Amino acid sequence: MKKVALTIALFIGTILMAQPPHHSMEEMKEKKEKMEAMRVAFITEELDLTADEAQKFWPVFNERNKKVEALRKEMMEFVFNMRKEEKTIDDLSDAELKKMMQKRFDNEKKIAEINEQYHAKIVDTIGLKKTAKLYMSEMRFQRKLIEHSRGRKGEPGQRGSQRR
């Protein structure tokens, strides 16, 4: 689970850093909403949730994601501010770098704690097997996003014949 959280954090950071500076927050918000809709469709299909399971699962899953996203947003605000000020890592003092890195580690610990807390809730709603499938589906979706961003495949939410 920690690897999934780290992979997601690195991926989101990479996507945001790769965005040209002329992209507005509105455009990025639209892309994020589209990606989220594809993720929901992908996970729903992968887990083959019943209507009852879906009704119980999505509020718990979304609550977890909102908490994790808030922590990630904190870190990304720092990156956006650096970009806005046209600063690089080389422009920061050692004290600023230490503070930034400590904040990152603190946020990663908090994210791991949230994931562990919500793991039990998710198991209670969809069972252990589907929870394990959820984690694998999240990783597969991230892989598809990366492949899509590299121009190798179709839409990230589409299920392909390849399974890894």
| Residue 25 domain-assigned (yes or no) | yes
| Residue 44 domain-assigned (yes or no) | yes
The pLDDT value recorded for residue 109 is 96
Q: Which two tokens stand for residue 5?
A: 């959280």
Give the mean pLDDT of 30-47: 91
The pLDDT value recorded for residue 154 is 53
In this model, does residue 53 exceed pLDDT 50? yes
The pLDDT value recorded for residue 137 is 95
The pLDDT value recorded for residue 163 is 44
Total number of domains in the chain:
1
In this model, does residue 29 exceed pLDDT 50? yes
| Residue 85 domain-assigned (yes or no) | yes
Secondary structure of 39-88 as H, E, C letters = HHHHHHHHHCCCHHHHHHHHHHHHHHHHHHHHHHHHHHHHHHHHHHCCCC
| Residue 155 domain-assigned (yes or no) | no
Give the mean pLDDT of 25-33: 85
In this model, does residue 161 exceed pLDDT 50? no
| Residue 160 domain-assigned (yes or no) | no
Domain that holds residue 35: 2-149
The single-letter DSSP state of residue 93 is: -
Give the mean pLDDT of 20-29: 70
User: Which segment, 49-58, 68-77, 114-123, is predicted with the most confidence on average?
Assistant: 114-123
pTM for this model (two decimals): 0.67
Q: Which two tokens stand for residue 33?
A: 């909403």
Residues contacting residue 146 through CB under 8 Å, at least 6 positions apart? 11
| Residue 9 domain-assigned (yes or no) | yes
In this model, does residue 91 exceed pLDDT 80? yes
| Residue 143 domain-assigned (yes or no) | yes
Give the mean pLDDT of 81-99: 84
Task: Name the percent of the chain lying above pLDDT 90.
Answer: 46
| Residue 73 domain-assigned (yes or no) | yes
In this model, does residue 132 exceed pLDDT 90? yes
